[in-house]
Structure 1
Amino acid sequence: MRILLWRALWLLCFAVLWSDTEAQLRYTIPEELKGESIVGNVAKDLGLDLSEISNRKLRIASESGKQYFSLNLRNGELLVNDIIDRETLCGQSSSCVLPVQVIIEDPLQFYRVDVDIQDINDNSPIFLSEVNTIEVPESTLTGARFRLEPAQDPDAGTNSLRTYALNKNENFVMNIKTDKDGTKVPEIIVEKAVDREKQSVYHLILTGIDGGDPARSGTTQISVKVLDANDNAPVFEHELYELKVMESTVPGTMILTVKAVDLDDGVNGEVEYSFAAHTPDIIQNWFAINPVTGELVVSKHLDYETSTSYKIDIRARDKGSLAMEGHCRIQVNVLDVNDNAPEIIITSSPKPVREDAPAGTMVALINVKDLDSGVNGNVTLSMSPGTSFKLKSTFSNHYALVTDSQLDREKFPRYNIELKASDSGSPPLVSSKLITVNILDVNDNPPVFSERVYSVYIKENSAPGSILASVTASDLDTGENSKIVYSVLDTNTQDVPVSSYVYINSENGSIFSMHSFDYEKIKIFHIIVLAKDHGSPPMSSNATVHVFILDQNDNAPAVIYPSTSMGSVAHQRMPRSAKAGHLVTKVTAVDADSGHNAWLFYRFVEATDASLFSVNLHTGEVRTKRAVSEHDDSSQRLLIEIKDNGEPLHSTTVTVDILIEEGLHEPISEYSMKTTENNNKKKSGTIALYLIISLGTVSVLSVLTLFTLVVKCVRSSIGSSSCCIWRTNSEYKNPNRNLQIQLNTDGPIKYVEVLGGDMMSQSQSFGSYLSPMSEFSDLTLVKPSSTTNFTDTLNVLDASLPDSAWTFESQQVSGSTPSPDIMLKTITHRPETKCTALAAMYLTTEYNLECYTF
């Protein structure tokens, strides 16, 4: 009952102690507590609420292999997991501490708790033998001492062996001898000489008593035999031998020689050495003694980590008939050798780390230990260089692996970190361990297109649903962060949303047309494709797709002169006095297509008199082939076909009725005509030279202008500028426009100048006088029948130019010979609007104007 009461008092009185050691918490408990006994409330002492125990995943880990404690996850109490026997765990060491590691997983934190195991008096002193026999010669004088077997008590401190007691008798008394190492050895002293004839054997009871409260004891029987004769026992030179031995000592090495002297002669003085009775087997296994020479030899490899010292009792016995013996003790201290490599223990395995984790984020907990002692047990932990991590020392031999710099999963998706532990021994021993830290992706990379600008060419009239282009973007991130969705930004082209022109496959970036395109209405438009990933928040980028419409020959020539607005047949008059080469009329047609598709050719299909008229293949001029005679019919009908140069070929026809009348005469005499023709021939050479120079100049300017426009359009897609293409068809409704026109005597347009504002605004106009025979021009020649018929032409020009004030000016040029050709192309630069316009003018119901504004 007293023992149980003692344990209960210990259980009620232990407290939480904060010490100067490495531990943050320290508890003290007595040994032999039952399972589920409370050691202390770890959660409360660490300042954790009950809800944080499970939320932050509180757990414990033991540095030793066995779990002596458990954690109550309901209230945070540290409980005894199993009965702890201090003697088994720490022997008779004065200090017995069990370290416990407390780990909080989220966020990762680490604490150390030391549990001090206090000894209780749960072991009684015991003797290895129930009966010990001592032989005492009868000649032994009073005061002679005989060593007895000491009792063993596994308890420590005050609970260990304290004293001995001997039952009362007449011949022997008890003496307790304390060795230098503190061991209490019982001796019996002959108080009164023994007489074998009176009593040959004495039976004594030796009691070992410890210092516990209540005290515990153990007994052994001492049998004293009285011997005759040999009355001198061997005596050692030293009662206690102390020596130090390296644990690396090779088995078979002699480490000490003991010597005992016996004053007797003969066989009574011959000494034989041996281990004392009841020497533990561990001593006899590790050491051996030569019975003749007294040499102590190491039998097996010593291990400092197993035992740091050995106590060896040596007995010297003589060979007398009544043998006598002497005893000594050898204290062997084992010196540590650096024979244990450091051990690396991953207390908490590394978890994946987000690439945007700040510097100092804890990744793993690491513990190192070395079984050696002193400098041999001082361990330094290092890691492989060139990583974004570092080791942070928390307290002795405990480290935290933390981030040291910004992480980038796209460069290093994982880190293989080699940990190296090195002790301070000579030579040092090193161990290593490889740990892997995976980096979690963060959406920090936008999609990137394979090209910033795409150029696509598509023929007009292509079937709806045709694929225009495929854009591709890539994302360096992974998972959902790298999944890309494509879309088209809904910008406007000619006030029409681009989404009405095309649609895009959101998964692969393929762009399809929603309807066919007409080159005559739209020549180019731009698509801004947006690529957005699935990250949170999402990231995006865009690319510009320039779609160029290629012209196809899908328009037939349109006749603009002679006008057939009043009927299906055009009527012309000519004098009967006309000579050969007389210009009867000029058929003028235009084609809405461009390039080679707009080249026109004229020929007769039918004629009343094919021998009287001819039509110029390229100009459409109808002239007389011979002089008109009085026999020719006064009414002549011509059916003229106009064909373009496209594939497939398109054509149209016009019927011209010519009325030959008497009394009409040519405005210029035959002589004047010839003179004029000669003058024209002379001038034609000079004009041809001017035309060549003009053509070259205009071509160079056109190429430079187009190149500038293309470069600005490409830049505009990057700089978010605007690029527009305008094309309009309308009636002539605003007469207040600024238009200057120079006319010939018979009314054809010779020069057209388009000004962007009023007459005072700055402008640069470039006019060219080109022949439709030129294969580098898309110009068409026009010859109206009179100046007043030019109103229709103005309707066309008005509808295609930007709003401004127009002024119509007509200038008559003296002369009687009609000018064969007119100018049809104007390039206007308007610095006040920062707009460069390239106007390819066909004097028809359609007019093309391309305007790029930046």
Structure 2
Amino acid sequence: MLVTFKIPETSEPGSRFPLEVARDHDIGSNTAQEYRISPKSKLFSVSYGSRSNGDKYLDLVLDRPLDREEEAEMGFSVIAVDGGSPPRSGTIEISIIILDANDNAPIFTQDRYIGRIMENMPEGSVVLTVLATDQDAGVNGDISYQLSLEVGQSDSAFVIDPITGEIKLRKPLDFEAAERHEMSVRATDGGGLSAICKVLVEVVDVNDNVPELVVSSFSSPIPENTVPGTVVALFSVRDRDSGANGKISCALEDQLSFSLRPAYKNYYELVTVSALDREEMPQYILSVTAADAGSPPLTSTQTFTVDISDVNDNAPVFNQTSYTMYVRENNVPTVFVGAISAGDADVGLNAKVTYSLAPEQGAERPSCSCISVNSENGHVFVLRPLDYEHLRQTEVTVSACDAGSPPLRANVTVRLVVLDENDNAPLVLYPAQDGSPASSELVPVWAEAGYLIGKVVAVDADSGQNSWLSYHLLRATDPGLFSVAVQSGEVRLRRPVTERDSVKQKLVVLVRDNGKPPLSATAALSALLLKDFSDVRLPHSSPAPEDQDGSLTTYLIISLVFVSLLFLISSAVFVARKACRRKELEAGHVLYGADNLQSGLADAAAAGTLPRAYCYEISLTTGSGNSEFKFLRPILPSLPPQHCVSFTYLIICFSSFTAISYRL
């Protein structure tokens, strides 16, 4: 038989739990006399006997306090023994179930839990798990967990699972905001008993913060003449991370004109290291990079835009080293002839260029008052009409000056060339056209075609093609008898003279230049066709005195001496030149007699100096005493023999001297 008792563990010692007494059909001493527990129990004993009314009883007595946590269930037997002989016994089985009482509070496995978590862990990540145990059973042993915030915390980044005790993230952590979090966890059983533990969560820093650059001062623009070492910017760097993640280094991208240098603590200075030139680089874009020592490293970049302000360090520069401008003569006043231009590499007022005429230095080049320069745009004007025949070119110095302080200037030479206009008609020099009676050219009737009668000589004050003169026969008494060389102006016979030709011929030669439009002039000539020059009577002549004959002889002698002297000098020069060249003199170049004279004249004629052999002789008409040189072939017989011989010798010497000079 099994008897089960459910005894609360809170039962006090001495508590009795009644059992049914053993029944025995015997009577007297043979009935049940004794009860015992087998095996013997430390917690229970049996108490039996009779009551005052004679009823027997049997109690199971609790000798000691129960502890379900030590032994929740137990079993033993109660044996009843009678007093017979031999004794007989009976047994009942006792099962003791100790009912739990909430006599044990939850107990955490650790008084202090410490957890470490990376600050970049996502929401819902398990930080750690707390564990509390309760020796009670049932509801008394059911534990739930709650987080308790520390003082001063309004919101927790953690949440705990009330059943499992897992502490999880409910929002991202930030090491820079809080390096660790402290909290309390309470464990409560079903009976209301609880326990508390401390939880410390350490946040592990992650390199999640880029370095920061904080600019304290920055100067821009800076003048281009800033000395090296000038501080342009002052800035500090910081990183909210810790350890290597917060260790910062700064670097300036490739830049030769600027550098970084540490100032104090986490401050750096951006300074110039070389001379600046705005004309080469008007603006610098400087990039400063700050990098931490994390893995991987994080960087941030600060850009400084440094403008370079201009200093007047560049003088104006002309776009040409010199200028040549042209103006036609007889120009209208204030005519534009060209422009000069100068550039300045500076900016603003430093680059504003004005132009002016620079004063001439020295007296070797007087200043020209006919040129003006516009101060704003450099346009060059000629103020008054110019005359090519008086001024062909002039030079002025133009100065370009900027508006800087102090101003810088540059000079350039401007040459003004006056272009010729065909404003001058040809001027006839021979024959003279001054209104006096023209002299007549004497032409022998036996003259052949091509005979040279005379030559018109004219000049033109213009230049270039404006001064190229051409000669044309405009009118003549007999146009078919004469021809005029277009280029040289020589008047020659076109055909031989005939008896039908008039003795007195008049010609008008037109001299024309090559300008556009052409200008012209005329020259009048007279020619006399004569058989014998001795009968010529020239008008407007006066009788020569009787001593005219002696004067002419004296003049001839002086002329002969002069020609001889020239001949000797020319011969000496010729001999000296030949001696220097170490060549022998040619015998044909020295005149020793009449035979040599003929060969010399032939050589000269062949060389082109004397295209036709002419004898020059003076003819004195009978009674008049007047004389005039003419072109004749024979020696005139009208002269006295001594005069004729002397003058002939003079002509021969002159011709020989001319031939020798040509060959030299």
Give the TM-score of the pair, scaled to structure 1.
0.47
Q: How far off is 1:537 after superposition?
A: 2.7
Structure 1 counterpart of 2:429: 560
* 1:571 maps to which of 416, 439, 457: 439
Could you report, residue by residue, the CA deviation over 1:164-199 in whole angstroms, capped at 9, with x for unpaired residues?
xxxxxxxxxxxxxxxxxxxxxxxxxxxxxxxxxxxx
Q: Aligned letter for 1:397?
A: N
Given the superposition, is the C-alpha separation of residues 631 and 461 from structure 1 closer, same or farther in structure 2, using an over 3 Å criterion?
A: closer
Q: Greater shift after overlay, 386-395 or 283-292?
A: 283-292
* 1:502 maps to which of 357, 363, 371: 371
SS in 2 for 1:516: coil
1:406 and 1:818 mapped to 2: Cα distance?
A: 84
- Equivalent residues in 2 for 1:320-359, closer than 5 Å: 320=191, 323-359=192-228
The answer to whether the aligner puts 1:314 opposite 2:185 as a matched pair is: yes
* 1:249 maps to which of 121, 145, 148: 121
Q: Where does structure 1 lack aligned partners over 5 or more consecutive residues?
A: 1-138, 140-228, 668-675, 691-743, 748-784, 787-811, 824-854
Asked if 2 retains the 8 angstrom alpha-carbon contact of 1:493 and 1:525, the reply is no
The answer to whether the aligner puts 1:648 opposite 2:517 as a matched pair is: yes
SS in 1 for 2:465: helix
- Equivalent residues in 2 for 1:56-67, closer than 5 Å: none
Q: How far off is 1:237 after superposition?
A: 4.2
The answer to whether the aligner puts 1:399 opposite 2:268 as a matched pair is: yes
1:270 and 1:621 mapped to 2: Cα distance?
A: 153
Q: How far off is 1:662 after superposition?
A: 4.3
Asked if 2 retains the 8 angstrom alpha-carbon contact of 1:455 and 1:546, the reply is yes
The answer to whether the aligner puts 1:686 opposite 2:558 as a matched pair is: no
Q: Aligned letter for 1:394?
A: A
SS in 2 for 1:380: strand
1:360 and 1:393 mapped to 2: Cα distance?
A: 13
SS in 2 for 1:570: coil
Structure 1 counterpart of 2:111: 239
1:596 and 1:681 mapped to 2: Cα distance?
A: 38
Q: Aligned letter for 1:687?
A: G
1:427 and 1:689 mapped to 2: Cα distance?
A: 110
Asked if 2 retains the 8 angstrom alpha-carbon contact of 1:568 and 1:655, the reply is no
Structure 2 counterpart of 1:297: 168
Q: Aligned letter for 1:287?
A: F
The answer to whether the aligner puts 1:285 opposite 2:153 as a matched pair is: no
Asked if 2 retains the 8 angstrom alpha-carbon contact of 1:574 and 1:664, the reply is no
SS in 2 for 1:375: helix
2:610 and 2:203 mapped to 1: Cα distance?
A: 119
* 1:438 maps to which of 307, 332, 335: 307
Q: How far off is 1:394 after superposition?
A: 1.5
- Equivalent residues in 2 for 1:581-600, closer than 5 Å: 585-600=454-469
SS in 1 for 2:274: coil
Could you report, residue by residue, the CA deviation over 1:709-732 in whole angstroms, capped at 9, with x for unpaired residues?
xxxxxxxxxxxxxxxxxxxxxxxx
Q: Aligned letter for 1:340?
A: N
Could you report, residue by residue, the CA deviation over 1:2-49 in whole angstroms, capped at 9, with x for unpaired residues?
xxxxxxxxxxxxxxxxxxxxxxxxxxxxxxxxxxxxxxxxxxxxxxxx
Q: Aligned letter for 2:213?
A: I
Q: Aligned letter for 1:243?
A: G
Q: How far off is 1:684 after superposition?
A: 4.7
Q: How far off is 1:357 after superposition?
A: 1.6
Structure 2 counterpart of 1:478: 347
Given the superposition, is the C-alpha separation of residues 494 and 388 from structure 1 closer, same or farther in structure 2, using an over 3 Å criterion?
A: closer
Q: How far off is 1:492 after superposition?
A: 8.4
Asked if 1 retains the 8 angstrom alpha-carbon contact of 2:441 and 2:454, the reply is no
Q: How far off is 1:350 after superposition?
A: 4.2
Q: Where does structure 2 lack aligned partners over 5 or more consecutive residues?
A: 1-11, 13-100, 538-551, 553-596, 619-627, 630-649
2:363 and 2:506 mapped to 1: Cα distance?
A: 46
The answer to whether the aligner puts 1:535 opposite 2:456 as a matched pair is: no
1:233 and 1:586 mapped to 2: Cα distance?
A: 157
Asked if 1 retains the 8 angstrom alpha-carbon contact of 2:220 and 2:308, the reply is no
Q: How far off is 1:376 after superposition?
A: 1.4
SS in 2 for 1:364: strand
The answer to whether the aligner puts 1:423 opposite 2:296 as a matched pair is: no
Given the superposition, is the C-alpha separation of residues 316 and 612 from structure 1 closer, same or farther in structure 2, using an over 3 Å criterion?
A: closer
Q: How far off is 1:309 after superposition?
A: 1.8
1:819 and 1:592 mapped to 2: Cα distance?
A: 35
SS in 2 for 1:360: coil
Given the superposition, is the C-alpha separation of residues 469 and 265 from structure 1 closer, same or farther in structure 2, using an over 3 Å criterion?
A: closer
2:145 and 2:401 mapped to 1: Cα distance?
A: 94
Structure 2 counterpart of 1:733: none
Asked if 2 retains the 8 angstrom alpha-carbon contact of 1:559 and 1:588, the reply is yes
Asked if 2 retains the 8 angstrom alpha-carbon contact of 1:745 and 1:815, the reply is no
2:516 and 2:279 mapped to 1: Cα distance?
A: 55
Q: How far off is 1:598 after superposition?
A: 2.9
SS in 1 for 2:368: helix
Asked if 2 retains the 8 angstrom alpha-carbon contact of 1:465 and 1:513, the reply is yes
Could you report, residue by residue, the CA deviation over 1:210-229 in whole angstroms, capped at 9, with x for unpaired residues?
xxxxxxxxxxxxxxxxxxx9
Q: How far off is 1:578 after superposition?
A: 6.4
Q: How far off is 1:435 after superposition?
A: 3.3
Could you report, residue by residue, the CA deviation over 1:587-628 in whole angstroms, capped at 9, with x for unpaired residues?
432222234333434456666787887765554455677669
Could you report, residue by residue, the CA deviation over 1:635-676 in whole angstroms, capped at 9, with x for unpaired residues?
8766554333333333334455678874469x9xxxxxxxx9
Instruction: Using the aligned pairs only, state the percent identity.
Output: 38
Q: Greater shift after overlay, 517-526 or 489-498?
A: 489-498
Asked if 2 retains the 8 angstrom alpha-carbon contact of 1:490 and 1:499, the reply is no
Q: How far off is 1:573 after superposition?
A: 7.3
1:295 and 1:631 mapped to 2: Cα distance?
A: 154
SS in 2 for 1:529: strand
Asked if 1 retains the 8 angstrom alpha-carbon contact of 2:182 and 2:201, the reply is yes
* 2:280 maps to which of 391, 402, 411: 411
1:746 and 1:536 mapped to 2: Cα distance?
A: 85
Given the superposition, is the C-alpha separation of residues 305 and 351 from structure 1 closer, same or farther in structure 2, using an over 3 Å criterion?
A: same
1:560 and 1:494 mapped to 2: Cα distance?
A: 37
Asked if 2 retains the 8 angstrom alpha-carbon contact of 1:283 and 1:312, the reply is no
Asked if 2 retains the 8 angstrom alpha-carbon contact of 1:569 and 1:655, the reply is no
SS in 2 for 1:481: helix
Q: How far off is 1:813 after superposition?
A: 6.5
Q: How far off is 1:235 after superposition?
A: 4.2
Number of residue-to-residue matches in the alignment: 467
Asked if 2 retains the 8 angstrom alpha-carbon contact of 1:569 and 1:656, the reply is no
- Equivalent residues in 2 for 1:448-467, closer than 5 Å: 448-467=317-336
2:134 and 2:289 mapped to 1: Cα distance?
A: 60
Given the superposition, is the C-alpha separation of residues 264 and 445 from structure 1 closer, same or farther in structure 2, using an over 3 Å criterion?
A: same
Q: How far off is 1:459 after superposition?
A: 2.9
Q: Greater shift after overlay, 400-409 or 540-549?
A: 540-549
* C-alpha RMSD over aligned residues: 4.6
Q: How far off is 1:352 after superposition?
A: 0.9
SS in 1 for 2:263: strand
1:631 and 1:246 mapped to 2: Cα distance?
A: 140
- Equivalent residues in 2 for 1:121-200, closer than 5 Å: none
Q: Aligned letter for 1:368?
A: V
SS in 2 for 1:556: coil
- Equivalent residues in 2 for 1:656-805, closer than 5 Å: 662-663=534-535, 683-687=604-608
2:296 and 2:492 mapped to 1: Cα distance?
A: 119
1:310 and 1:631 mapped to 2: Cα distance?
A: 148
Q: How far off is 1:255 after superposition?
A: 3.0
Given the superposition, is the C-alpha separation of residues 284 and 534 from structure 1 closer, same or farther in structure 2, using an over 3 Å criterion?
A: closer
Given the superposition, is the C-alpha separation of residues 678 and 370 from structure 1 closer, same or farther in structure 2, using an over 3 Å criterion?
A: same
SS in 2 for 1:395: coil
2:410 and 2:512 mapped to 1: Cα distance?
A: 50
Given the superposition, is the C-alpha separation of residues 453 and 318 from structure 1 closer, same or farther in structure 2, using an over 3 Å criterion?
A: same
Q: Which has the larger radius of gyration?
A: 2
- Equivalent residues in 2 for 1:78-157, closer than 5 Å: none
